Amino acid sequence: MSYSQRLLQQGSSLTRLAHRSRYDAVLSLLQGNQFQRALDYGCGDGWLLRSAYEAGLVTSGVGVDIAPQMLSLCEETLANIPGFQFCLPDAIASWIEPQSCDLLLCTETLEHVDSPKEILDTILSYCKPGATVVISVPIEIGPALLVKQFGRYLANFKGHYGYEKYTPKELWDAAFLWNTDSFPSSHSLPFTGFRAHKGFDYRKIKAMLAERLSLEKQVCTPFPLLGNWFNSTVFWVGRV
């Protein structure tokens, strides 16, 4: 079972809905376009690139991930489909020329890195002027956090789904006061190679994007009409 299949088939009904809606949202946001070359930074097992290819939205691209095992899965996911390559972050320049991509995808990745500003500046340098950019990160602040923690709690009953626990005060501060800076987390402590979800504030990423892109749309999933209050993920669509 692939990484994406595990997310879509295991866990609780709430976590499965959240993950499925993320994939569907990206494809929906790209509808009506066809992109010649995509850069998917944080591509995982390549499921999103394959889905975009099968939907006729992307004809070629490069997937980038820090995990060699994920890149191996990418080769399996897009086996016998020409035009796609996969590499580690340090090797991007060997596969893509600056300002050569007309689509940049970066989903559920920026919350995990040490310096999202540096990552954004790097990957945006490979985009053509006018290129479409789709970024998504999890909503781990506000009332949505209560719903997500409940879904994770249920998912953990079925196996080792894994989730970070909050003290009552931490949950109060994050969910009701919209404050993730009042308690220790991987986002406030020295970087150890990976930042987790606890303590992440998506609004900081939005501010970075607004400085670098012309933002055209913000969508929250899985229930777009509820905005950032009771959703798991926020997407931005912008243009270079």
Residue 193 region, left (φ>0) first, then alpha (ψ -120 to 50), else beta?
Answer: left
Give the model confidence (pLDDT) of 162-188 as tens digits. Answer: 789 999 999 999 999 999 999 999 999
Q: What pLDDT, on the 0 to 100 scale, is given for residue 106?
A: 97
Q: Are 122 and 99 in contact (CB under 8 A)?
A: no
Q: What pLDDT, on the 0 to 100 scale, is given for residue 153?
A: 81
The closest alpha carbon to 28, from 177, 222, 165, 230, belongs to: 222
Give the model confidence (pLDDT) of 94-118 as tens digits. Answer: 999 999 999 999 999 999 999 999 9
CA distance 5 to 19: 10
Rg from Cα positions in the chain: 17
Q: Are 108 and 136 in contact (CB under 8 A)?
A: yes
Tokens of 141: 């602040």
User: Mean pLDDT score of the chain, rounded to an integer?
Assistant: 90
H helix count then E strand count, the chain: 9, 7
Give the model confidence (pLDDT) of 71-89 as tens digits. Answer: 999 999 898 899 999 999 9
**Side chain identity at residue 135, one-letter code:** I
Q: What residue ranges define each of the domains in the chain, with the CATH number in brackets?
A: 3-140+196-239 (3.40.50.150)
Q: Are 212 and 239 in contact (CB under 8 A)?
A: no
pLDDT at 228 over 70: yes
* pTM for the whole structure: 0.89
CA distance 96 to 160: 38
First CA to last CA distance, the chain: 36
Give the model confidence (pLDDT) of 24-42 as tens digits. Answer: 889 999 999 999 999 999 9
